[in-house]
Amino acid sequence: MQTTPAPTPTSPAKPRLFTRGQLTATVMAVLLVALLGFTAKACESVEGGQVRSTAEFKERVKATQQAGEDTYTALAPAPLQEPYAHKEGSTSCVDDFGFDDAGVTRDQPIYTWGVEFDDRDGYLTALANLKADWKEQGRTVRDIAPQAGLPGISTTDAHGTQLTLAPDYYTNKPVIRAEGTCMRYHYA
């Protein structure tokens, strides 16, 4: 006769830290908080980012001008005329939806320098030298398709200023363009 072994006592059930419903509710709450945070950040982006001081905006303007002037002085061969920056307005940096409060405005520093060389070869040599200089600095250089027969290049510096050497869209004459980012700031 064969005997069956006696049943072994089962260990008591371990208490669960979370039930499935509690775990689902916790995950949903975390996702809701994250969604609200992303929504708030998106609204700030639509508004144009955080509001900065006038001094910070002036620093941005100065950095944009300096980046353009540094590009001008880096050209080899050097342009025929002395550097003179022209300030441009930005049609894309405006408060279209009325988000800005009283005392807050926005602007984008954009400057152009006309550059004139002896001939086409002088421009192309300066373009090639500037491209090599920017690459040596570790910048990503983008080629701009030729317009009016002249190619161009652009890059972005450490301050977020977009720098371009290319023919002007309207005049087809070579220009350096330094375009800072749009900034909301308190004005006095």
The whole-angstrom separation of Cα 168 and Cα 170 is 6
What's the confidence (pLDDT) of residue 141?
A: 97
Q: Residues 104, 179: one domain?
A: yes
Q: Residues 41, 95: one domain?
A: no
Q: Residues 94, 155: one domain?
A: yes
What's the confidence (pLDDT) of residue 102?
A: 80
Angle among Cα 48, 62, 137 to the nearest 5 degrees reads: 95
Nearby residues of 3 by Cβ (< 8 Å), 6 or more positions away: none
What's the confidence (pLDDT) of residue 157?
A: 94
The whole-angstrom separation of Cα 27 and Cα 16 is 17
Q: Residues 43, 117: one domain?
A: no
Domain membership flag for residue 73 = yes
User: Residues 124, 65: contact at Cβ < 8 Å?
Assistant: no
Domain membership flag for residue 10 = no
Q: Residues 33, 122: one domain?
A: no
Output the pTM of the full model: 0.71
Question: Mind listing the pLDDT tens digit of every residue in the chain (188 residues)?
Answer: 677 776 666 666 666 666 778 878 888 888 888 777 766 655 555 555 788 888 999 999 999 999 999 999 999 998 998 888 999 888 778 776 667 778 888 889 999 999 999 999 999 999 999 999 999 999 999 999 987 789 999 999 999 999 999 999 888 899 999 999 998 888 87
What's the confidence (pLDDT) of residue 51?
A: 81
Domain membership flag for residue 1 = no
Q: Residues 75, 121: one domain?
A: yes
Decide the pairing of beta strands 183-186 and 51-52. Answer: parallel
Per the structure, the complete domain to which residue 38 belongs is given by: 18-47
Give the pair of three-digit tokens for residue 51: 């509001």
The whole-angstrom separation of Cα 79 and Cα 82 is 8
Angle among Cα 183, 154, 55 to the nearest 5 degrees reads: 25
Q: Residues 67, 130: one domain?
A: yes
Indicate the number of domains in the chain: 2
Q: Residues 39, 122: one domain?
A: no
The whole-angstrom separation of Cα 19 and Cα 77 is 74
DSSP assigned state of 137 = T
Domain membership flag for residue 7 = no
Domain membership flag for residue 9 = no
Q: Residues 124, 69: one domain?
A: yes
